[in-house]
A and B are shown apart, each in its own frame.
Chain A
Amino acid sequence: MQNKSLDFWVGLFVLLGAAALLFLALRVGNMSSISTGDTYVVTAKFDNIGGLKPRAPVKSAGVVVGRIGAITFDDKTFQASVSMDMDSHYKFPKDSSAKILTSGLLGEQYVGLEPGGDVNLLASGDKIKMTQSAIVLENLISQFLFSKAADGKEGSK
């Protein structure tokens, strides 16, 4: 086969492969939700992060407004320190609160942000003061059993 037409077919083959990869990345994967825009970093401390993982979504009113960056352990306060990359389009008041919620019953965990009423807005590097940890099933069960036992004792008095 002539070298010129061979080059053309090989080039077409590689182009087809690149197009397939692009299709997979954009239409099939979740690349569109990986923010390519500007972000600002906000940290929050939690007593228990449960099953929260890096790159989990940060949602407010159900809409994704950021992604979890890094999760580290602070051995001075013995709390988990979670850093969140927030989309620059969305600004939140300084007294917003962060909760760790679960999507669905058994789904992945995400951080839910509830706006406060402060006039000042969160800037890069700020900390979210009010946080609520993830719900740990075992603690819930032991709480329930303990309260049941307490009720039973009072009932038999």
Chain B
Amino acid sequence: MINQWVSHLGRAVRVWLSELGLASRTLFAMLISGLGLWRRPRLITTQIHFIGNYSLVIILVSGLFVGFVLAYQGYYTLNRYGSESALGLLVALSLARELGPVITALLFAGRAGTSLTAEIGLMKAGEQLAAMEMMAVNPLQRVLAPRFIAGLIAMPILATLFTAMGILGGYLVGVQLIGVDEGSFWSQMQGGVDLYEDIGNGVIKSVVFGFAATFIAIYQGYQAQPTPEGVSRATTRTVVLSSLMVLWLDFVLTALMFQ
């Protein structure tokens, strides 16, 4: 009995390690093949359009509403200690350091990640990837790398937009609706938010999240079972894995950056 459990455990670890190895090898092969893409920037810009532009609506509206809620909750708590004038600082710091990159990454994984996985999975199911290899076209270079680079470019842009919209939303609710002093809203924010420590670190985080979420989405699509069920399972795994990875990376990066 124990023998069986131990050998099951051993097999599970071995399988997990080999999957990790395969993922790393795919990542390196994709990155190296992506270097040759400077000759065809159109591929990348098409993908930026699909990944970035089509996510704009959800990112901007979510940013606005998160800003609204932050302003309300922040005001409610700060009011108890007489510090409502620090509302701008609270909203800006929360968004720039944490909420901007993380929520954008989660929404990105849900919206762009699933569409990437489904697209590549369906390509695999329709044997398009195999056909490409037959024609001596590297599918890693033609299909995967442009999407990866596009995700890497789009994520920081989306995160910055989310943060900016959130601050605007915080301003609308805090100053216009609740009545916090406009001058202290902006001046405390400008005094307390550092360009490199807060905004810069937020941008670095969003790049790392973009790397993780995009690669997980692409890889799951690439490795999906070429059946409708397989594609659907791959999509689910993308969302779950990306979200967990983003939150885990957020913890690690925050511990590294904000000591």
Give me the interface of A with B, judged by CB distance under 8 Å: 1, 3, 6-7, 9-10, 13-14, 16-17, 20-21, 23-25, 27-34
Contact = CB atoms under 8 A, between A and B. Distances in A.
Interface of B: 42, 45-46, 48-49, 52-53, 56, 92, 96, 153-154, 156-158, 160-161, 163-165, 167, 186, 189-195, 198-199, 203
Contacts of A6: 45-46, 49
B85 to A, nearest CB: 13
Nearest to A23: B164
Given A9-B53, A20-B163, A32 B157 contact: no
Q: By CB atoms of chain B within 10 A, which of A10, A27, A31, A33 has the most?
A: A10
Given A20-B163, A24-B163, A29-B195, 8 more contacts: A13-B52, A14-B157, A16-B157, A20-B165, A21-B160, A28-B92, A29-B198, A31-B195
A62 B42 CA distance: 54
25 contacts: A6-B45, A9-B49, A10-B48, A10-B49, A10-B53, A13-B154, A14-B153, A14-B157, A16-B157, A17-B157, A17-B158, A20-B157, A21-B160, A21-B199, A21-B203, A24-B160, A24-B167, A25-B195, A25-B199, A28-B167, A29-B194, A30-B191, A30-B192, A30-B195, A32-B190
Contacts of A27: 186, 190
10 residue pairs, one from A and one from B, having the closest CB atoms: A17-B157, A20-B164, A29-B195, A20-B160, A31-B195, A20-B161, A10-B45, A29-B193, A10-B49, A21-B160
Contact of A24 (B42, B157, B191, B199): B199
A28 B52 contact: no
A25 B92 CA distance: 12
B199 A13 contact: no
A63 to B, nearest CB: 14
Contacts, number: 74
B111 to A, nearest CB: 15
Contacts of B167: 24, 28
B112 to A, nearest CB: 13
Contacts of B191: 30
A13 B56 contact: yes
Contact of B193 (A10, A17, A30): A30
Q: By CB atoms of chain B within 10 A, which of A14, A24, A32, A34 has the most?
A: A24
A56 to B, nearest CB: 12
Contacts of A31: 195
Contacts of B53: 9-10, 13
A27 B190 CA distance: 7
Given A6-B49, A16-B157, A29 B164 contact: no
Contacts of B163: 20, 24
Contact of B164 (A13, A24, A34): A24
Contact of A16 (B45, B161, B194, B203): B161
A144 to B, nearest CB: 29
B45 A7 contact: yes
A34 B191 CA distance: 11
Given A3-B42, A13-B52, A17-B156, A28 B161 contact: no
A10 B52 CA distance: 8
Contacts of A14: 48, 153, 157
Nearest to B48: A10
Nearest to A24: B199
B213 to A, nearest CB: 17
Contacts of B154: 13
Nearest to A7: B45
B48 A28 contact: no
